[in-house]
């Protein structure tokens, strides 16, 4: 009864915490109706009068209740000891799972949950993040950002404040601004509560771009709200209620004195034209000066193979790049250079078209097997197939020799910039978009997000290596690609290969995926070995992409077709990190901003988990001692995005004070250089450098 009374009158948070630590209460502790009637009859007389509370009556009551409880039909249920122990074990197991869930939400989702939070706290945090207001008594209703003001006394239509919330269906009974005369008990309780402020939204979610845009203060009509720095001046009166809208200024971390992380800005793709000439040098100079004024460390630029070696083998034209590098040097900025051996155009963010060299395209017309090929025989001229790495099919040279000659020419041409320390980093292109992966998701061949993609191993050279691997394994009939892996836009459950319990986890499936992923690792190993020879003493970087869709499925199908053998029972990134460590290369992981993907696109039904991908890849790198460089996957200009990048770059619990060795902002645009955006970017750079910020919200 005492427990029931505590539930009715409410308990303190400390009492709740103590209750959580107690052993599981036996389920047979509840009284049945017979016992309740006995106690009622003892307290209330037959004629409705109260029984005296004297000592004699108390003794009689205790004795009478004990007699009644001892009878077979009116007492407690007697349960075996084994069943009680099983109940305790189940409860301990449930608590252990709950603790791991809460730890994950706090660590990876920035949820502000107390140490002994329960399921109600989790639901409240999720509801608040989705833009709802949750009162202490559990009353939940849409925030003002979801419901516009009613017009002419009509009911308010539920609306969303962002594209992410537009698809949500809000129950009509949960409309904000319902008067106290409503018949709904929760809504009536909400009206009765005065001055309740619930700042439950995650840190940095106070901007218009955040998912949870505002909290609310609800008070009775005619009662003035106390002045508070967290409350804005927006006040509405609806049906006799005063609704005060607030824009909370949630605290920011002070990064003053933290580790220094260099910040680079990626230059536009078309800064050098197809004639290897610098486009608009005066305009670029002004932009670089603005970047210098906010103390960025340097810039990143792509050196395109299709521009430099465009017309004839081993005839290199570096003129435009030399002029650009000289301009950067004069402004005392640093350079990170990407040696891009892929085609530009057709991918996300590509605003120019830079094909592979003309002489390579001519070879491809007579021998299309130099390009990656899918099961249907469609060629992808975005980059050379890794099957030609050791095949002399490029005017007497192998693919590896072509890459090495290009790298050696760059090193000789810009030797003075290396010696002066202007060029600090060389990022070597290893595949499509410069990333170490198979081109498994080409839009021009029909892929649409969130399709699983297709394997790209059907050119004659890779099939030859597959045949050798199958023969060495003793099963020559395995020298083929899967015939039930679906098409580019298939879902895993629609295929026999990637579905749960599918062929991917059978003997043949494991053989094929091992071989396919090893081709990727071997290509990176060989190219980075040559890069280390050409750029001895210079920081080398390899780029990896985050394949986040279908990550929550057992097969991780989208990762498998891209060459990452990373199903749920295998770590597909450990071998790649070991290869990078072997060559003292750093990892550029396109991860920053993946946590905001749910604001940019609908990933509800794709089993996507961007943050889990980021966690697995970065921790695989850190565990083996590989430095991590990062760039943002999505463009952003607001403080919310910058602060989340900072939290990921400099976690509070990191013993080294930072996760990243440098950060690359993708990319320089006129919009970034507008006054307000540039001031916000300068603020971000200061925090990355560990400097103090004068307008820090604390």
**With contact defined as beta carbons under 8 Å apart, do 442 and 366 qualify?**
no
Q: Answer yes or no: is 633 a known binding residue.
A: yes
The DSSP line for 179-235 is: -TT-S-HHHHHHHH--S-----SPTT--STTSSS--EEEEEETTPPPPP-TT--SEE
Residue that the structure tokens 């609800």 belong to = 218
Beta strands in 442-487 (DSSP E): none
Supply φ then ψ for residue 659, to 5 degrees. -100, -30
Helix (H, G, I), strand (E, B) or coil at 238: strand
- The Cα–Cα gap between 519 and 509 comes to 16
Half-sphere exposure of 197 (CA within 13 A, CB side): 14
Q: Answer yes or no: is 548 a known binding residue.
A: yes
- The Cα–Cα gap between 418 and 303 comes to 16
Termini Cα distance of the chain: 46
Q: Answer yes or no: is 581 a known binding residue.
A: no
Alpha helices (H) in 219-318, listed in sequence order: 281-293, 305-308
**With contact defined as beta carbons under 8 Å apart, do 296 and 328 qualify?**
no
**With contact defined as beta carbons under 8 Å apart, do 355 and 330 qualify?**
no
- The Cα–Cα gap between 442 and 432 comes to 10
Task: Return the active site residues.
Answer: 435, 631
> What length does the chain have?
698
Helix (H, G, I), strand (E, B) or coil at 335: strand
Residue that the structure tokens 């919310």 belong to = 640
Instruction: Check the CA dihedral 414-419-423-424 and report its sign.
Output: positive
Helix and strand tally (H, E) in the chain?
21, 15
**With contact defined as beta carbons under 8 Å apart, do 107 and 115 qualify?**
no
Q: Could you tell me the two tokens for 454?
A: 């297709």
**With contact defined as beta carbons under 8 Å apart, do 613 and 551 qualify?**
yes
The DSSP line for 353-398 is: -B-S-HHHHHHHHH-GGGEEE-TT--EEEEEE-GGGTT---BTTB-
> Which residue, among 250, 251, 240, has the nearest Cα to 218 in the 3D structure?
240
- Percentages helix, strand, coil for the chain, rounded to the nearest 5? 40, 15, 45
- The Cα–Cα gap between 374 and 481 comes to 10
Beta bridge partners of 631: 664
Q: Answer yes or no: is 539 a known binding residue.
A: no
Supply φ then ψ for residue 65, to 5 degrees. -65, -40
Half-sphere exposure of 538 (CA within 13 A, CB side): 29
- The Cα–Cα gap between 521 and 575 comes to 7
> Which residue, among 361, 333, 210, has the nearest Cα to 265 in the 3D structure?
333
Torsion of CA 633, 639, 645, 646, to 10 degrees: 160
Q: Answer yes or no: is 470 a known binding residue.
A: no
Q: Answer yes or no: is 543 a known binding residue.
A: yes
Angle at 418 between CA 413 and CA 423, to 5 degrees: 105
> Which residue, among 113, 86, 83, has the nearest Cα to 98 in the 3D structure?
113
**With contact defined as beta carbons under 8 Å apart, do 390 and 551 qualify?**
no
Q: Answer yes or no: is 676 a known binding residue.
A: no
Beta bridge partners of 662: 629
Q: Answer yes or no: is 525 a known binding residue.
A: no
Output the known binding site for substrate.
Answer: 302, 342, 350, 543, 548, 590, 632-633, 667
Binding residues: 302, 342, 350, 543, 548, 590, 632-633, 667
């Amino acid at each position: 009864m005492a427990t029931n009374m505590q539930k009715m009158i409410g308990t303190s948070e400390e009492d709740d915490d103590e209750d959580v630590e107690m052993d599981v209460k036996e389920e047979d502790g509840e009284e049945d109706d017979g016992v309740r009637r006995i106690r009622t009859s003892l307290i209330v007389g037959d004629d409705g009068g109260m029984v005296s509370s004297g000592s004699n009556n108390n003794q009689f009551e205790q004795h009478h209740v004990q007699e009644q409880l001892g009878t077979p039909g009116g007492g407690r249920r007697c349960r075996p000891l084994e069943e009680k122990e099983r109940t305790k074990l189940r409860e301990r197991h449930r608590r252990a799972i709950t603790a791991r869930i809460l730890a994950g939400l706090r660590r990876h989702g920035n949820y502000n949950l107390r140490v002994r939070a329960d399921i109600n706290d989790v639901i409240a945090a999720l509801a608040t993040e989705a833009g709802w207001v949750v009162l202490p008594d559990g009353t939940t209703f849409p925030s003002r950002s979801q419901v516009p003001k009613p017009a002419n006394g009509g009911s308010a239509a539920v609306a969303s404040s962002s594209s992410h919330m537009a698809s949500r269906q809000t129950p009509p009974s949960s409309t904000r601004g319902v008067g106290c005369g409503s018949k709904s008990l929760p809504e009536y309780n909400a009206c009765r509560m005065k001055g309740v402020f619930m700042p439950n939204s995650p840190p940095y979610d106070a901007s218009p771009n955040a998912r949870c845009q505002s909290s609310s203060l609800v008070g009775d009509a005619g009662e003035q709200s106390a002045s508070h720095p967290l409350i804005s001046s927006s006040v509405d009166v609806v049906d006799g209620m005063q609704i005060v809208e607030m824009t909370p200024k949630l605290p920011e971390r002070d990064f003053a004195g933290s580790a220094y992380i260099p910040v680079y800005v990626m230059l536009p793709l078309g800064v050098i034209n197809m004639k290897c000439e610098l486009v608009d040098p005066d305009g670029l100079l002004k932009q670089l000066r603005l970047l210098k004024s906010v103390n960025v460390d340097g810039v990143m630029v792509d050196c395109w193979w299709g521009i430099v070696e465009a017309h004839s083998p081993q005839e290199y034209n570096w003129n435009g790049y030399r002029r650009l590098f000289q301009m950067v040097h004069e402004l005392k900025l640093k350079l990170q250079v990407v040696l891009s051996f892929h085609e530009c155009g057709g991918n996300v963010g590509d605003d120019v078209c830079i094909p592979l060299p003309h002489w390579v395209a001519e070879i491809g017309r007579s021998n299309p097997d130099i390009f990656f090929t899918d099961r249907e025989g469609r060629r992808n001229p975005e980059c050379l197939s890794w099957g030609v790495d050791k095949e002399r099919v490029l005017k007497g040279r192998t693919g590896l020799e072509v890459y090495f000659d290009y790298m050696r020419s760059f090193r000789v041409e810009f030797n003075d910039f290396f010696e002066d320390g202007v060029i600090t980093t060389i990022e070597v292109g290893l595949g499509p978009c410069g990333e170490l992966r198979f081109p498994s998701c080409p839009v021009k061949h029909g892929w649409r997000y969130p399709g699983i993609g297709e394997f790209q191993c059907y050119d004659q050279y890779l099939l030859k290596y597959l045949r050798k691997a199958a023969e060495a394994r003793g099963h020559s009939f395995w020298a083929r690609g899967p015939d039930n892996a679906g098409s580019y836009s298939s879902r895993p459950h629609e295929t026999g290969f990637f579905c749960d319990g599918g062929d991917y986890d059978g003997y043949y499936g494991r053989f094929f995926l091992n071989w396919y992923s090893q081709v990727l690792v071997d290509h990176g190993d060989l190219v980075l070995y040559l890069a280390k020879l050409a750029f001895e003493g210079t920081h080398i970087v390899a780029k990896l992409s985050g394949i986040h869709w279908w990550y929550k499925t057992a097969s991780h199908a989208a990762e498998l077709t891209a060459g990452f053998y990373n199903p749920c029972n295998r770590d597909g990134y450990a071998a790649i990190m070991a290869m990078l460590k072997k060559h003292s290369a750093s990892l550029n992981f396109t991860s920053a901003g993946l946590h905001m993907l749910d604001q940019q696109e609908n990933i509800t039904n794709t089993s996507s988990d961007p943050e889990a991908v980021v966690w697995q890849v970065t921790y695989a790198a850190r565990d083996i001692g590989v430095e991590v460089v990062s760039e943002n996957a999505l463009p952003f200009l607001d403080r919310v995005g910058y602060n989340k990048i900072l939290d990921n770059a400099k976690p509070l619990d990191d013993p080294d004070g930072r996760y990243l060795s440098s950060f690359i902002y993708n990319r320089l645009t006129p919009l970034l250089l507008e006054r307000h955006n540039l001031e916000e970017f300068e603020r971000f750079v200061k925090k990355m450098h560990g400097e103090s910020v004068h307008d820090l919200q604390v």
